Homo-oligomer: A and B are copies of this chain.
Amino acid sequence: MIRLFTPDPLSAGVAVAPSPEQSRYLLSVMRLQTGAALALFNGRDGEWRAVIETIGKRGCILRVEAMLRPFGLPPDVELVVALVKRGPLETIVEKAVELGVRRIRLVLTRRTNAERVRLDRLQAIATEAAEQTGRVEVPEVSEPRKLEALLADWPADRRLMFCDEAGDDPQAEWGGDQGRARPALDALKPGDGPWAVLIGPEGGFAPEERAVLRGLPFVTPVTLGRRILRADTAAIAALTLWQAALGDWR
């Protein structure tokens, strides 16, 4: 069944006008007729069955019938991702939504290419991914912030899984076991509280950034094997391991 996001309120009997793009998709691409059923969600009221009531020159009107599924949030994990090139960044947003993140925060790091980011486009990709993956809400994609500022404001109860591609480099400037990166499944132990996953830019974090991150009490440094992963692969792998170890894939 086709699923569409709408900003409108949803309850039994109300009428909803899809956006012009959604009308075109329903009528011209999918060639639905009057009476055809689809699912609607708005991020507040759950998922509802609706049918095409009328088809006019300027689109169609949907009539909401019955609730299919109540509203619910996925486990509390966010993705914090450095700005990477447009292609991989769009992949990361799409896949992070499929993998159930509650929010995507963009960050600027020392080695970030400060390419201009089109937040409206990323949010549209997140919405489409939510429609396809069966979510009843859409994660917000937040305006880019500097890593330092984000860490300065960080809520003390949210752990940060720091995917450190340099891993256990013996020449690293931190010593001892305190900030040692471990395989993700060893480092992610069930417990209370929300999490976030941090993915660096293609060039990796700068040594100063890594030292700061390793020293923060809410940071859990993890390794993702010894092969070099692109940023999009690392993001998908890290979120997969989080869901499998601590989230709703258990």
**A residues in contact (CB < 8 Å) with B:** 74, 91, 95, 98-100, 132-135, 183-185, 223-230, 233, 236-237, 240-241, 243-245, 247-250
The one of B99, B229, B236, B249 in contact with A183, judged by C-beta atoms closer than 8 angstroms, is: B249
18 residue pairs of the A-B complex, CB under 8 angstroms, read A91-B91, A95-B233, A98-B229, A99-B227, A99-B229, A100-B227, A133-B227, A133-B229, A134-B228, A135-B227, A183-B244, A183-B249, A183-B250, A224-B240, A224-B249, A225-B249, A240-B240, A241-B241
**Considering the chains assembled together, what is the distance between the CA atoms of A98 and B183 in angstroms?**
17
> Could you say which residues of chain B place their CB within 8 Å of the CB of A91?
91
Whether B233 pairs with A233 at a CB distance below 8 angstroms is no
**Considering the chains assembled together, what is the distance between the CA atoms of A225 and B184 in angstroms?**
18
Whether A240 pairs with B237 at a CB distance below 8 angstroms is yes
> Could you say which residues of chain B place their CB within 8 Å of the CB of A132?
228, 230
Interface centre among A228, A230, A237 (most CB of B within 10 A): A237
**Considering the chains assembled together, what is the distance between the CA atoms of A227 and B245 in angstroms?**
16
> Could you say which residues of chain B place their CB within 8 Å of the CB of A183?
244, 249-250
| Min C-beta distance of A205 to chain B, whole Å | 18
